[in-house]
Amino acid sequence: MTLFFGPITQAYTSRVTPDSEALTIRAKAVDGPFAYLDSVWSFEQEGMGTRVRFEIDFKISNPLIAAVAEPAFAAKQDEIMRAFADEADNRYGD
């Protein structure tokens, strides 16, 4: 994946592990600008729909890049959830 934060462009790769029994998808950055990046998507049936939770914990290695990118990356969490919901709607309907 490639991230763009103004003039800063950083690419990284994640190891993604789905668990169909736990109804989770875990992702862990294996390279790139992060000291660590761990995320978990979890899915829980709720009424006639599904509750989706997204948790992410990360730290950018380079302090200069971190000062610019960490606040922006944190703010992108809502954008990530919206993109996920939009894609689910496109694939499976409302």
Name the pLDDT band for 93 (thresholds 50, 70, 90).
confident
Question: Could you report the per-residue pLDDT of 47-79, keeping only the tens digit for each?
Answer: 988 899 999 898 889 898 888 777 777 677 777
Q: Could you tell me which residue, 78 or 94, shows the higher pLDDT?
A: 78
Per-domain residue ranges for the chain? Answer: 2-92
For 29-75, give the DSSP string: E-SSSEEEEEEEEEEEEETTEEEEEEEEEEEESSHHHHHHHHHHHHH
Identify the CATH homologous superfamily for domain 2-92.
Answer: START domain (3.30.530.20)
Indicate the average pLDDT of the chain.
85
Ramachandran region, residue 69 (left: φ > 0; alpha: ψ -120 to 50; beta: rest): alpha
Average pLDDT over residues 29-40: 92
